[in-house]
Structure formats: structure tokens, C-alpha cells
Amino acid sequence: MATALGYNPPAGGGGRGMGGGGQSRREWLHGARDTAPLALSAFAYAIGFGVLARAAGLTVAETSLMSALVFAGASQFAALPLFSAAAVPLTIIATTAAINLRHLLMGASLTRVLRGVSRPLLAAVAFGLSDETYALVMGRAQRQPLSAAYVLGSFLALYVAWNAGTGLGASLGALLGPPERYGLDFAVTAVFIALLTFFLEGRPGWTVLGAAAAISIGGVLLLPGNSHLIAAGLGGSLVGAALERG
């Protein structure tokens, strides 16, 4: 699917591991620097999450711990009304797991460009995997080999911003008011629109985008809950795979 989206692995094989100490530090800093604009957006979005989590009945500690351990914005937001309704834990777990199934697709495609990496590093990458940084690092992989240090720098920058924003929103929620007042609810949507430009090169990329969008819209109308996200991800992947083979 990555090829259909305009991605071709750079010559000379896949990505690199951590490499030497100096090289690793430079790559780590590059990853964090490139992610800085995304981190600012995530910080604003996380403030909104902190405000809404407090309104849903979570304490400041519970809200902060959720962001630190889960680190998955979409599923964290989806869990809030379930907490408000005092849903059983199994329902909350099943709902968030269904939303996060897309990470299986992202992780599988990331392994195509990130090779020779130890299991502990892969575990760290898997924990830090998010929609925003996935799009960023895959965009970089179109231009040059990808290193684990760059990916971890990117992930950590977003992780720090997300948790800092969550803590601020949870602590000052009563003073800040609804996040919609400041437009924070649109921050991540704007980021995703900008990130699409990395992949929309030529007809194949637009075809995959159109297919995924059509499936998602149809899923909103016909499927329960957030299952349209899974359907759109799988459908777009199948279209991309078909374009590669064709």
C-alpha cells in the first residue's frame, strides 16, 4: 500500500537502527524538531481532553495517568462518555481496542522502512506509534532511510506535549471552559489535512484517499460506533494493494 500512496523505499535497503552515539543524538534531535509543529497541535488538543476528562468525572491524577499509559487520543476521547455512563470496564476496553486496531496496519507498514532494530526499541516505537508521527516519519522515509533514533525522537516530542497538555487541561479545566471556545477541537483535524500532502503524489494516492473517504462516510451512516474507522483503513489498504499489483 505504501507504494500506491507514492512511497518507494530508498535505495540501499530499509531503515537503520540506533547507530553510533553522535549520529543517534543528531537523528533523535531531528525527529523531535520535525515533530515540533505537530507537538504544538497535540498540546492544544490534549488541553481539550483534560478539560473533558474532568467533566466526565475523572480526577486530575486519573486523567494524567490515562494519557501517560494509553497515549491514544482518539480512544481516550471515545472512553470519556463511557466513564460518564459508568460503563463496565470490559465495554471501555473493547471500544478503545476497536478504535486502536488501525495501529496494526500502521505498525505493519512501518516495519517495511525500519529494519535491523532490536526488540526493546521496537517495543518503544510500538508504544509511541500515533497517527500524526506515523504520517510524518513515513513522509521522511520517502526521501531518505529511516532510523530508529529519528522515530523515537518524533514519538517522544509528541508524548511530552500530549501529557503536558493533558495535565494543564485537567488542572485548569474549570477555568478554561469548553475546548470548542478556542477552536481546540479542530486542531488535530487541521494537522491531518496538512499531513496528507506527504502522500498525495499522483493518481494512486488520490485513488486510495477517495476510496477510504467513501468507505468512511458510508460507514458513518451504516456501521455502529467507530467501526467506520476500521472499515476505511482496511478498505484503503486493499485498494492500495490492488493498485500495487496492477
Q: What is the pLDDT along the chain (246 residues), one digit of tens a residue?
A: 444 444 444 444 445 555 556 678 899 999 999 999 889 888 988 988 898 888 888 999 999 999 999 998 888 888 888 888 888 888 888 878 877 887 888 888 888 788 777 888 888 888 888 888 888 888 888 888 888 889 999 999 999 999 999 999 999 876 766 666 766 656 556 655 666 666 666 677 788 888 888 998 998 888 887 677 778 878 887 887 788 776
Separation of alpha carbons 213 and 121, rounded Å: 33
Task: Please report where in the chains the cell 471552559 appears, as a residue.
Answer: 177
Nine-digit cell string for 203: 493518481
Per-domain residue ranges of the chain: 21-195, 200-246
At 113, the amino acid letter reads V
**Threshold 0.85, pTM exceeds:** no
